[in-house]
Amino acid sequence: MRISVRDAGCAYGRQTRAYAEYRIFSSMARFSDVVREADVSLIPSDGHTARCVVAVTIGDGTCLRVSARGRHVSDAINRAARRISDALRRHTDIALSS
């Protein structure tokens, strides 16, 4: 599984990009057999919020995309991680681990 993180406008540092990679990876770990790649974009919004967009390509060529806003970039990343995990679960029928 390949994950790339883009920082639109270079608004965030390496630590934030590493956090995004970690959170998105950990939210998709149970889907590693079907996920081919994930592209994560971190986008500063209006100065008071941030946005995280995640596009995932799975083995059958389907692309799933989610977007989340948060009061700060970590909040947006966390929300996007939950949303992509939910989208993958619905699309693949892989159950949550106990």
Tokens of 81: 């991680």
**Predicted TM-score (pTM) above 0.95:** no
**Exposed (0-12), middle (13-18) or buried (19+): which is 39, by Cβ within 10 Å?**
middle
Q: Which strand ranges, in their side-by-side order, compose the sheet holding 50-58?
A: 2-7, 35-44, 50-58, 63-70
- pLDDT, tens digit (0-9, with 9 covering 90-100), for 30-86: 998 999 999 999 988 777 789 999 999 998 888 999 999 999 999 999 999 999 999
Out of 3.40.50.1370, 3.40.50.2300, 2.40.50.140, 3.30.160.100, select the CATH number for domain 2-92: 3.30.160.100
Q: Where are the domains of the chain?
A: 2-92
Q: How far apart are CA 31 and CA 50, in angstroms?
A: 26
